[in-house]
Structure 1
């Protein structure tokens, strides 16, 4: 998780040297972005702000082994009547075992 932006692809290039603000979660591919938003809110006070917007991205190696960051959805900390990508599941978004999930909090 990072405030204000996503991490850069290079932040994930070396296993064991992931970003310092890493939070490990174990979940299923049928977990929705809303469920993940609620998990993030449990550990990141800035994500609990009424105006907080969370952006989700997958980070994974491409065919040449270079890491790619692909934004996959956005949620609001509190729905405010708009649901954005709340109901999208990791599986629907093509999350693969071993990918990283990067969350930017705005």
Structure 2
């Protein structure tokens, strides 16, 4: 895009200042070793909610960032040999839900080409996100005890005029039913299938 009266040209999406822009709700549906069938998504009120987590994030969130949030609440996803494959689920023009082609794959410990794909670059338009968690780790149900995890995330923000360092500390308390945090809210009834 070229601005009138200047030599400034911009290409690609504009950076998102996470300090100033409100996060959006991303509804994520996890399943072990397979995607949910599109037929399980009948309407906005008839979904596989037992496998749902709700993430508050930004359009510039990468698949790697999303996978790290999933690992906070899904034990098999933490296994060193696990990987997560992502797809969108959305209704077609007739209201029938369809599963997209795989959007990317993120491995637990090794870097990959899809790690830095953002929701924005994948043309996110408030679809549901289906995640296939592949792991050899046995499925373990969470105990009744609470677990607290803190994660500090530092991000360089370049808004054109200046570059700043944004540091966010996320504290997550996990119980059998609910996980919540200051910057990322994860709400779950049952994560493991």
Tell me which protein shows more helix as a share of its residues: 1
TM-score with structure 1 length normalisation?
0.91
1:73 paired residue among 100, 104, 110: 104
Post-superposition Cα deviations, 1:26-46, rounded to whole Å, max 9, x if no partner, equal: 211110000001000001000
Structure 2 Cα separation of the partners of residues 61 and 74 of structure 1: 23
Runs of 4+ residues deviating >4 angstroms: none
TM-score with structure 2 length normalisation?
0.51
Tell me which protein shows more strand as a share of its residues: 2
Query: What 5-or-longer segments of structure 1 have no aligned partner?
Result: none
Larger radius of gyration: 2
Q: Which has the higher contact order (CA 8 A, sep 6+)?
A: 1
Q: Give the count of matched residue pairs.
A: 103
> Is 2:109 the counterpart of 1:86?
no
Instruction: Give the 3-state SS of the residue equivalent to 1:26 in structure 2.
Output: strand
Query: What 5-or-longer segments of structure 2 have no aligned partner?
Result: 1-29, 135-193
2:61 corresponding residue in structure 1 = 31
Deviates more, 1:8-17 or 1:85-94: 8-17
CA RMSD of aligned residues (A): 1.0
Structure 2 Cα separation of the partners of residues 78 and 43 of structure 1: 17
